[in-house]
Amino acid sequence: MRAAVLTGQGGPPRVAEVAAPSVRAPEDVLVRVLTSSLNHADLDAVAQARDGVPGGLGLDFAGLVVEAGSAVADLAPGDGVLGFLPPGVPHEGPGAFAEYLVVPARLLARRPATLDFVQSGVLPLAGTAALLAVDAVVPPRRSRLVAPTRGPVLVVGGSGGVGTLAVQVANARGAAVVSTGQPQDRTLLHLLGAIEVLDYSGDWLPEVRERYAEGVDGLVDLVSDADRFVILSELVRPGGRVASTRGAADVSALARRGVTAVNVVARSDRELLGRLVDCADAGTLQPVIDRVINLSDLPSELGASPRPHGCGKVAVTIGD
Ligand SMILES: NC(=O)c1ccc[n+]([C@@H]2O[C@H](COP(=O)([O-])OP(=O)(O)OC[C@H]3O[C@@H](n4cnc5c(N)ncnc54)[C@H](OP(=O)(O)O)[C@@H]3O)[C@@H](O)[C@H]2O)c1
């Protein structure tokens, strides 16, 4: 089968013929990967390969079940599925930028009926991170009878892969979403539900301090390092909630200020993926795709520096 592989000798990955994996454990599923997407973890893997560490590449996948192990009762050949390989966890085989993948069934969910394979393949990791970040800051309401009005929630990095999904989920939960973004992303961010878009090429903090003098209710931060996160979390009122996908939140220091903080770590499991699929099928989550590239484009795509600006995800098709 064809797969993108890291050599461990530096330089971008190459697309090569490698041995296809096979089902070995009873709970394993062999998936024919049709689509995937780029994540920061892939860029990190390429950077680590430059340091001499070979390894697999690609986390997200959507595709078709080819074979299910003897203990897998609820999936059969031909079923459409999606999922992601847990970042940082060694995986047998080259990763998800490959024509076939073997994964335990517990890492798979059926793909959304309302989305095509390209849309399904960009959802798993970014969508799971977005869902967990919004859960931490705008918890789901227990009753549909409660009026859907919430205070302002700031999304920093709202134009990116995770951000375009987080803006939609927070908006669907009734939050008044204020997002950062470049001027060319403004229209899209409004369409996704942001009531206000702050151009992050300038200093947007004074505007937020002035407009929300009592503080915003929440912060979903997909960009900042720990030092910047300290500054941005000061925009949040005591009693508010913050989340970082970059491990930037000092949870105990924020608790002393009365702010609840979560460092999000996306979990690859069926329950969470299922919630994501339900959001997509309910129409509250629409993946935003910046570009679609093919497996054969990955060496040049992953070798490009600096990365081009985009809004949403870069999808990767695996077949021709
Ligand atoms: N913890 C987890 O489980 C988990 C899961 C998924 C992702 N992540 C992490 O979450 C982060 C976001 O991931 P992603 O896939 O959404 O990345 P992404 O697609 O690159 O999005 C980042 C967005 O932030 C924008 N941005 C850059 N600098 C900014 C600034 N100073 N202020 C405001 N916005 C700025 C970027 O715009 P430009 O295009 O203009 O640069 C881009 O739209 C990454 O660090 C990733 O590693 C963590």
The predicted-structure confidence for 247-286, as pLDDT tens digits, reads as follows: 999 999 999 999 999 999 999 999 999 999 999 999 999 9
**What's the whole-number mean pLDDT along residues 147-156?**
80
**Rounded to whole angstroms, how far apart are CA atoms 276 and 268?**
12
Instruction: Give distance in angstroms: CA of 248 to centre of ligand 1.
Output: 13
Q: What would the pLDDT profile of 2-47 be if each residue is shown by its tens digit?
A: 999 987 777 778 899 999 999 999 999 999 999 999 999 998 888 8
CATH (domain of 46): 3.90.180.10
User: Which of 245, 246, 267 has the most ligand 1 atoms within 8 A of CB, as the residue to mutate?
Assistant: 245
- By C-alpha distance, which of 71, 41, 69 is closest to 56? 41
pTM score: 0.96
101 and 203 share one domain:
no
Instruction: Give distance in angstroms: CA of 160 to centre of ligand 1.
Output: 5
Distances (CA, A) of 176 to 127, 192, 261: 20, 12, 19
Is 280 a member of any domain? no
Question: What is the torsional sign of CA 88, 93, 97, 99?
Answer: negative
Domain end: 248, 263, 278, which one?
A: 263
**Rounded to whole angstroms, how far apart are CA atoms 222 and 155?**
8
pLDDT in the model for residue 55: 66
232 and 248 share one domain:
yes
- By C-alpha distance, which of 97, 157, 106, 107 is closest to 130? 157
Is 278 a member of any domain? no
114 and 28 share one domain:
yes
How many domains are contained in the chain? 2
178 and 259 share one domain:
yes
Is 65 a member of any domain? yes
pLDDT in the model for residue 147: 52
Residue 53 has pLDDT above 70, yes or no: no
3-state SS, residue 102? strand
CB distance 45 to ligand 1 below 6 Å:
no
pLDDT-derived band at 145, boundaries 50, 70, 90: low
Q: What would the pLDDT profile of 219-240 be if each residue is shown by its tens digit?
A: 999 999 999 999 999 999 999 9
Which residues constitute the domain of residue 296? 2-123+287-317
Residue 91 has pLDDT above 90, yes or no: no
**Rounded to whole angstroms, how far apart are CA atoms 92 and 98?**
12
CATH (domain of 215): 3.40.50.720
pLDDT in the model for residue 294: 97
Residue 144 has pLDDT above 70, yes or no: no
309 and 243 share one domain:
no
CB distance 180 to ligand 1 below 6 Å:
yes
pLDDT in the model for residue 6: 86
Is 273 a member of any domain? no
| Average pLDDT across the chain, whole number | 93
**Rounded to whole angstroms, how far apart are CA atoms 265 and 173?**
21
Instruction: Give distance in angstroms: CA of 153 to centre of ligand 1.
Output: 17
209 and 300 share one domain:
no
Residue 141 has pLDDT above 90, yes or no: no
191 and 295 share one domain:
no
Q: Whose CA is nearest to atom 18 of ligand 1?
A: 160
**Rounded to whole angstroms, how far apart are CA atoms 204 and 186?**
15
Residue 306 has pLDDT above 80, yes or no: no
136 and 258 share one domain:
yes
